[in-house]
Amino acid sequence: MPTFRAIRIDKADKGTQASYVDFDENELMDGDVTVRVSHSTVNYKDGLAITGASPVVRRFPMIPGIDFAGTVEASDSPAFKAGDAVVLTGFGVGEQHMGGFAQKARVKSSWLVPLPAGLTAAQAMAIGTAGFTAQLALLALEKHGAKPADGPLIVTGAAGGVGSIAVALAKKAGWHVIASTGRPEEGDYLKKIGATEIIARQELSEPGRPLGKERWAAGIDSVGSHTLANVLAQTKYRGAIAACGLAQGMDLPASVAPFILRGVSLLGIDSVQCPMPERHEAWQRLARDLDKDLLASMTRHVPFANTIDIAHDILAGKVRGRVVIDVEQK
């Protein structure tokens, strides 16, 4: 029986249980492309899946891992052939369809993006769903018409995965970046990757007023809850905020004041079902704009056997920047 190394999540007496296993290839789900996975990464959602903190896994057993990069091993699709380098993020992989914390994945060809020229598989996973989402947020702000001349751009959860890449991309695009973080000790790190100003998380995370002083023209928020409400309340006239996360909470205890009195826009960002043309655009921009040395400076590489530990760390807010899982390294 052909097997490969994987993490498997099973239902347990209380909740779910994640373990390292030798996985039977015949148990992989249907798909027209089989990929030899070389790298994956731990995103916040992977933390939720592995720890069972939130019911993101919809089928059992499940191989978690919402993204991966690797090489096509076999393909029934004319779009890909054996040897092609590919990247996958989202589409319910690692939630409803067996995912990237494994040496092999079988998926639909319509979910795959060719590895963009200029990126290695390891760099693509240093970017991962988090970086891809940060790029989607910046693209959404740009399409809305936001530009650096309008004023500063705030990034919340700045020392996290989405936040770190958002800081670097916004800086590269010419923005004056204000980074909000709960980890003051990461101030030097945030300045190195592109922040001009650092503010304390507590300035935004408590219940606030419906409208405050106008401080920024744009924002990328991966935190939600009171933080997003306060970010909106302090956005300049006709500014725009891209909302992509819920690290503080899924709620949005806000008023309509910023929308109806200042014409502020709230742009929703979803990376999971993002249509293919926008995916290609985002990956091309990432390959072009994200400084590779900067990316390396915000990335830690760990062997496969550390994945479950990192999943716990990310929910505890202990992970800085990005973590790449080297799937081939035990």
Contact residues for ligand NDP, defined by CB under 6 A: 43-45, 129-130, 133, 157-163, 181-183, 201, 205, 222-223, 227, 244-248, 269-272, 314, 317, 319
**Burial of 270 per CB tally in 10 Å (0-12, 13-18, 19+):** exposed
Q: How far is the CB of 304 from ligand NDP (least distance, A)?
A: 19
Q: Residue number with the shortest CB distance to ligand NDP? A: 160
Choice between 4 and 44, CB closer to ligand NDP: 44
Q: How far is the CB of 48 from ligand NDP (least distance, A)?
A: 7
Q: How far is the CB of 78 from ligand NDP (least distance, A)?
A: 29
Q: How far is the CB of 324 from ligand NDP (least distance, A)?
A: 13
Choice between 72 and 136, CB closer to ligand NDP: 136
Cβ atoms 256, 263 nearer than 8 A: no
Choice between 75 and 164, CB closer to ligand NDP: 164
Q: How far is the CB of 223 from ligand NDP (least distance, A)?
A: 4
Choice between 18 and 28, CB closer to ligand NDP: 18
Cβ atoms 275, 170 nearer than 8 A: no
Choice between 223 and 241, CB closer to ligand NDP: 223
